[in-house]
Amino acid sequence: MNQHFALLGHPISHSISPFIHRRLFEIAKIPAEYVLLDVCKPDFLSVIPTLSKLNGYNITIPYKQAIITFVSQLCGQAKIYSCINTVKNSGGASFGYNTDAPGFLQALKFENLPLAGNVTILGCGGIARIFCFEAVFSGCNVTLAVRAQSLDRTKALANKVARATGSSVAVTLIDALPKNAGILINATPVGMFPNVDESPIADEALAHCRAVFDAVYNPHETLLIKKAKSNSLPAVSGLSMLIFQAVFAHKIWNDVDFSDGDIAQLIADSSEFLKRFG
């Protein structure tokens, strides 16, 4: 009997999650369907009964926090972030998880980019918050870099992290990156398709970085990634994270594992799919 899964969000018509999850189900030899539920905010409540009938589902913007009210229990790191991207329905109950955090860490490990030393995170949104916490948990010296209009919100985030972890987080303007930025993490949408000719930082700022991780996955190689490589910097695309957060979702749903070879092939195939998709 087929299992039934979905991605809830809006707008998600250009999501490649169905491609990734269907491939993972094929590798695991699990008969399942995975569909998009592109639901605008006025219709959000009406989709809850549909979600409860699924074996599980993923959630993306703008519902990662709104869905919390409708799950039975928060599990693991979802408790820390009050943010869910994966739900498992079982025995009449629903369990909410966050696989963005482990997906991020596993992607860095897979790409041989240790999360250590100085880390500079561009942005202060939900995914930046996850990156910030995980970098602090890893013992890094963290700086959040944002535009002037986001300074107050960023300082509030830095204070929240400090209260929760006992570690201070620096805040600066994105045009004044520290001289030793270390690993630069782009947690903004700058450079995302269709605005592929944009970069979140000036070219000269890369001289202060030792590596780059860009959470943007479409295109696979953003302008920031291309510029990092042209400066001989290790550079990791957000596609690896997207795939690993999906892998962790499958572990939650069906307790399955995937080989490094399977993951490497899926990253390559997804990159090619993105080229056609764009």
Q: Is the pLDDT confidence value at 265 over 80?
A: yes
Q: Is the pLDDT confidence value at 36 over 80?
A: yes
Q: Is the pLDDT confidence value at 29 over 70?
A: yes
Instruction: Categorize the per-residue pLDDT at 60 as very low, low, confident or very high, splitting at 50, 70 and 90.
Output: very high
Q: Are 99 and 86 in contact (CB under 8 A)?
A: yes
Does residue 53 have an active-site annotation? no
Strand partners, 209: 182
Task: Name the pTM for this structure.
Answer: 0.93
Question: What CA–CA distance (Å, rounded) separates 202 from 34?
Answer: 40
In angstroms, the Cα distances linking 119 to 13, 55, 134, 138, 212 are 33, 38, 11, 11, 10
Question: What CA–CA distance (Å, rounded) separates 107 from 115?
Answer: 11
Instruction: Categorize the per-residue pLDDT at 278 as very low, low, confident or very high, splitting at 50, 70 and 90.
Output: low
Q: Is residue 102 reached through a cis peptide bond, with omega within 30 degrees of 0 on the bond before it? A: no
Instruction: Categorize the per-residue pLDDT at 37 as very low, low, confident or very high, splitting at 50, 70 and 90.
Output: very high
Q: What is the pLDDT of residue 13?
A: 87
Of the candidates 53, 64, 109, 179, the residue annotated as catalytic is 64
64-121: per-residue pLDDT in tens? 999 999 999 999 989 988 899 999 999 999 999 999 999 999 999 999 999 999 999 9
**How much of the chain, in percent, has pLDDT values that exceed 70?**
99
1-10: per-residue pLDDT in tens? 799 999 999 9
Question: What CA–CA distance (Å, rounded) separates 256 from 251?
Answer: 5
Region 24-44: mean pLDDT is 97
Region 214-232: mean pLDDT is 95
Indicate the average pLDDT of the chain. Answer: 95
